[in-house]
Amino acid sequence: MAENFAELFYELALANRICANEGVLDAFGHVSVRHPKDPNRYFLSRSRAPELVEPGDIYEYDLDSQPVRTYALPPYSERVIHGEIYKARSDVMSVCHHHGAAFMPLVTTGIDYIPVFHLGATGGSKPPFWDQKDEFGDTNLLVVKPEEGASLAKRLGQHSMVLMRRHGVTVVGSSIRDCVFRCVYSCRNAEYQVMAMQTGTIDPLSPGEVREAGGISAKTTGQGRAWEYWSVRLDKAGGTPPQLRAARRAAKPANKPAKKAKRGRK
């Protein structure tokens, strides 16, 4: 499995680390991807800080969020967020759950997310709120039961993002890169929105502008351009996953020039 999906596992590890480097994730939160050959399975790291995730940390789950084999190290407790969304949304190929600091003023007050600049349209217009307390009473706010994950997925509906009261945000995408793009730029938008609220009256994007601007990244080179930029920033910070770093070292020419082979006699 690891050999067949080496590139996918590397990209998933890179996504976790990019989100950490860009301030979306910290010690907590996670990014997953649906199995490209079996829609009834998905991949997610073992329980580890996103900034440290490596390709070898990736576990495989069914849509009930049960591991398909026995693994040595513990999984994330909130993996049902991913499994239940994949179960409810066949179009979703990647999921990220985060507690981005930019969103905390919104999820703690119940203020709607409002796109205030073009890239902020990737979060959609007025994504829904989900309050765990409404159905499950007082909890520790972790989404660990299948019925809790299913409730969250239902509230997400056909939106690309759902805000979780007093907790965080869950974002979906058509690919790993699409999901990361939405995460980073919705966080930027939330930051700008709160700043704008403190400065004056917000002039938000119109519904038509949200619709048009929301599709830019998928229709242009924007998504790939952003991914390359974030990857370089991560590498400069020394955070590139180890497999690629080892490959780069191996590809570097030796310090000493190779000796020329002696010509054989004809």
Q: Does residue 188 belong to any structural domain of this protein?
A: yes
Mean pLDDT calculated for residue range 122-151: 97
- State which amino acid sits at residue 157: G
How many Å is the Cα radius of gyration of the chain? 21
Q: Is the pLDDT of residue 258 over 60?
A: no
Cα separation of the two ends of the chain: 50
Q: How far is the CA of 68 from the CAs of 55, 60, 61, 78, in angstroms?
A: 17, 6, 5, 17
Q: Does residue 117 belong to any structural domain of this protein?
A: yes
Q: Is the pLDDT of residue 3 over 90?
A: no
* Residues present in the chain in total: 266
Q: Does residue 165 belong to any structural domain of this protein?
A: yes
Q: Is the pLDDT of residue 116 over 70?
A: yes
User: Residue holding tokens 């966080």?
Assistant: 187
Q: Does residue 234 belong to any structural domain of this protein?
A: yes
Per-residue confidence (pLDDT) for residue 220, from 0 to 100 = 80
Mean pLDDT calculated for residue range 140-169: 98
Q: Does residue 129 belong to any structural domain of this protein?
A: yes
Here the CATH number for the domain that contains residue 72 is: 3.40.225.10
**Close Cβ partners of 93 (under 8 Å, ≥ 6 residues apart):** 33, 34, 173, 174, 175, 176, 178, 179
Domain of 95, in residue numbers = 6-239
Q: Does residue 254 belong to any structural domain of this protein?
A: no
- Extract the tokens encoding 81: 């967020």
The most distant pair of C-alpha atoms in the chain lies apart, rounded to whole Å, by 88
Asked if residue 119 lies in contact with residue 189, where contact means CB atoms within 8 angstroms, the answer is: yes
Mean pLDDT of the chain, nearest integer: 91
Q: Does residue 248 belong to any structural domain of this protein?
A: no
Per-residue confidence (pLDDT) for residue 4, from 0 to 100 = 67
Mean pLDDT calculated for residue range 108-119: 97
- How many domains does the structure of the chain reveal? 1
pLDDT digits (tens, 9 = 90+) for 32-82: 999 999 999 999 999 999 999 999 999 999 999 999 999 999 999 999 999
Q: Does residue 260 belong to any structural domain of this protein?
A: no
- Which residues are designated catalytic? 78
**Close Cβ partners of 86 (under 8 Å, ≥ 6 residues apart):** 34, 39, 42, 63, 92, 95
What share of the chain has pLDDT > 90, as a percent?
85
